[in-house]
Amino acid sequence: MTLRVRFAPSPTANLHVGNARIALVNWLFARVRAGRVLLRLNDVDEERCKPRFAAAIEEDLIWLGLDWDEFTRQLQHIDRCRAAFGRLEDAGRIYPCYETSEELEAKRRSARTRGRQPVYDRAALALSGLDHGPELQDLLPLVGWARAATRLKGLRA
């Protein structure tokens, strides 16, 4: 089995030193072990992702002397992602998140101040849209959360 590593930047801005570092480490790891490098642009945020940033990321990687064996864009696989989401939903493993971004960020901050990793507490399992009042129901984004998704079998398309 051939080793395969991935570098998946979001083309929402130019490549920064942190991304370049990860790309270099992944590239070195793969090349030392005769592996393959996949460049996958994580372009699902269609509002923020720009073609000029995607092109700039590719140019910067080439300038750094980093090449790749495979190239893809996350949007090319969005149908597979939606199908997997549908299977999770059908299995009862998806639930809506009615918490606001501010509430979720407050939970993350609280965990960090206690020296803990910010792990989601699954509080939305006990909530409904009415818990925030009817005036907010249409404003809150419906986010799917997977319950124990890693334990489910047969989800790969």
Residue 146, pLDDT > 50, answer no
Residue 108: what are its φ and ψ, rounded to 5°?
-65, -45
pTM of the model: 0.61
- 128 confidence band (pLDDT: 50, 70, 90): low
Quote the tokens at residue 25. Answer: 């480490």
pLDDT in tens, 2-19: 999 999 999 999 999 999
Report d(CA 124, CA 111) in Å as an integer: 17
Report d(CA 4, CA 21) in Å as an integer: 18
**CATH 3.40.50.620 domain residues, the chain:** 4-78
Q: Are 9 and 56 in contact (CB under 8 A)?
A: no
Report d(CA 133, CA 155) in Å as an integer: 35
List, in order, residues 6 or more apart from 74 with CB less than 8 Å away. Answer: 8, 40, 41, 42, 43, 44, 81
Q: What angle do CA 73, 84, 147 make, to 5 degrees?
A: 120
What CATH number does domain 4-78 carry, 3.40.190.80, 3.40.640.10, 3.40.50.620, 3.40.50.300? Answer: 3.40.50.620
pLDDT in tens, 48-62: 899 999 999 999 999
